[in-house]
Amino acid sequence: MKAYSAHLITGSNQQAQRQLLALRLRSRMSFLQQATPLHIFVVTLRCEHSCPYCQVSRQSTDRSRFDMSEETAMRALDIAFASPAPRIKIEFQGGEPLLNFPLINTIVSTAKVRSASLGKKVDFVIASNLALLDDVVLDFCKSNDVLLSTSLDGPADLHNKNRPRPGANSHELAVAGIRRAKEVLGPDRIGALMTTTEASLDRVDDIIDQYLQLGLDGIFLRPLSPFGFAVKTKQFQKYDTGKWLDFYERGLHRVLDINRQGKPFREFYAALILTRMLSDRPIGYVDLRSPAGAGLGALVYNYDGGIFASDEGRMLAEAGDNAFRLGHVDHDSYKSLVLSDKLIDTISSSLTQCAPECSTCVYESHCGADPVYHHATQGDALGIKPLSAFCARQKGIMGVLLNILENSPEDAAILRRWAAS
Ligand code: SF4
């Protein structure tokens, strides 16, 4: 009976059960009906930090050469508003985007006028290290409903080691910025992301405690990615998947401890996977879906007008690999970008539903295609999954989660709550 109600077995001519299964699948894949909700504007490549794991090839000088022009930004807005999604998000990235704050101001005011005339909703996020956050920027965010997203790698010694800047005060500025943003914009208007370096591996409790101290509602435990300076400075090679999974599992158990003591706090990647595992709600997260999120989930407008299928795709281009460069704001439309042979080839060749290894994998319906990662590490958008660190991490994390769901009732109840909200 259990196998029947879980749709694992069926009787002959059981039309209703098949239709129910089709409905559930349609709900899980309904992110495809809202094509390209995310538009990333790289308003400058300049940055005053010099992080060795930086995934972008930041520049320190030459404002005219590495800042996006107003003309490029307006063309990018034309493309963003032509995407079918009824609600779009415009995210400002860099370099450090606040180094080109006047352009952010212009883009936000123009996008709001267009959004009103087209009846399309628009949200804004600035991804900033907060070193340049001041009252002018905060007032602007408050009056335009702009969210902030920042980087926080843990306590001061670890964060400052990972994120050098003149004055060695990156942590001090990030923490002051988070506190001030929570005060002025509201407690849920700023989020933080961490990156795991070799120095983070035995510090997961300290890192999580730092997030708790700042009143953040969860943490996203992220490994290093094989792009930009992280490759050039060899940071990416400094630990293997096994070490990272060990770090992740210890972190997840620490987060569960915190919840058991009565404080709601999440590990966000686990929450995303659990939503895939335990519900039929669609999740738009670009790395956890097949067809892949490249182009269909997000488009990236580089400072020079080049358009990319993903943020990692533009990072590869800064290192000379244009595999995911779809076009340019001067000659392309939304339609020409999403119907380009390059994007169609990338997406169709990376589908997990029919890929070797993935199509017979027990985790397939909860996993995703990551063609840019596999191109960067194996020179092939599909990738050989037994050699893929992405695949090993997915299997490792999902195995840990299933083990908790099966064997630890109290922790399983916490995980189920993450999936339900
Ligand atoms: S865990 Fe690996 S093999 Fe399984 S679906 Fe994901 S990428 Fe494919």
Global pTM reads 0.90
Residue type at 405?
L
* Residue whose CA is at the smallest distance from ligand 1 atom 7: 391
Question: Among 3.40.190.10, 3.30.70.3270, 3.20.20.70, 3.40.50.720, what is the CATH number of 37-281+297-342?
Answer: 3.20.20.70
Contact 385 CB / ligand 1 (< 6 Å): yes
Per-residue tokens: 72 = 């490029």
Which pLDDT tens digits describe the chain residue by residue (421 residues)?
778 877 778 888 788 888 888 888 898 888 888 899 999 999 998 887 666 666 555 566 556 678 999 999 999 999 999 999 999 999 999 889 999 999 999 999 999 999 999 999 999 999 999 989 999 999 999 999 999 999 999 999 999 988 887 777 889 999 999 999 999 999 999 999 999 989 999 999 999 999 999 999 999 999 987 665 555 555 656 678 999 999 999 999 999 999 999 999 999 999 999 999 999 988 878 888 999 988 999 999 999 999 999 998 998 898 889 999 999 999 999 999 999 999 999 999 899 999 999 999 999 999 999 999 999 989 999 999 999 999 999 999 999 999 999 999 999 999 999 999 8
Distance 373 CA to ligand 1 centre (A): 13
Contact 363 CB / ligand 1 (< 6 Å): yes
Question: Rounded CA gap, 246 and 396, in Å?
Answer: 9
Cβ within 8 Å of residue 360, ≥6 positions away: none
Contact 358 CB / ligand 1 (< 6 Å): yes
Question: Rounded CA gap, 25 and 47, in Å?
Answer: 44
- pLDDT number for residue 285: 86
Distance 325 CA to ligand 1 centre (A): 26
Q: Which atom of ligand 1 is nearest to the CA of 361?
A: 4
Question: Rounded CA gap, 47 and 70, in Å?
Answer: 19
Best CA proximity match to 57, nearest among 318, 316, 325: 318
Question: Rounded CA gap, 55 and 295, in Å?
Answer: 19
Residue type at 219?
I
Question: Rounded CA gap, 217 and 205, in Å?
Answer: 15
DSSP E strand stretches across 363-402: none
Contact 364 CB / ligand 1 (< 6 Å): yes
Q: Which residues pair with 38 in a beta bridge?
A: 89, 298
Q: Which atom of ligand 1 is nearest to the CA of 357?
A: 3
Provide the residue ranges of all domains of the chain, joining segments of one domain with +: 37-281+297-342
Residue of 241, 357, 373, 388 best suited for mutating to test ligand 1, as the one with most atoms within 8 Å of CB = 357
Distance 207 CA to ligand 1 centre (A): 29
- pLDDT number for residue 319: 82
Distance 383 CA to ligand 1 centre (A): 11
Contact 394 CB / ligand 1 (< 6 Å): yes
* DSSP state letters, 131-145: TT--HHHHHHHHHHT
Q: Which residues pair with 91 in a beta bridge?
A: 40, 125
Please answer whether residues 36 and 82 qualify as being in contact, where contact means their C-beta atoms are separated by less than 8 angstroms. Answer: no
DSSP E strand stretches across 181-290: 190-193, 218-219, 266-267
3-state per-residue secondary structure call for 318-348: HCCCCCCEEEECCCCCHHHHHCCHHHHHHHH
Distance 360 CA to ligand 1 centre (A): 9
Distance 289 CA to ligand 1 centre (A): 11
Contact 276 CB / ligand 1 (< 6 Å): no
Per-residue tokens: 239 = 């630990």
- pLDDT number for residue 1: 73
Residue of 272, 289, 290, 358 best suited for mutating to test ligand 1, as the one with most atoms within 8 Å of CB = 358
Question: Rounded CA gap, 418 and 414, in Å?
Answer: 7
- pLDDT number for residue 164: 80
Contact 361 CB / ligand 1 (< 6 Å): yes
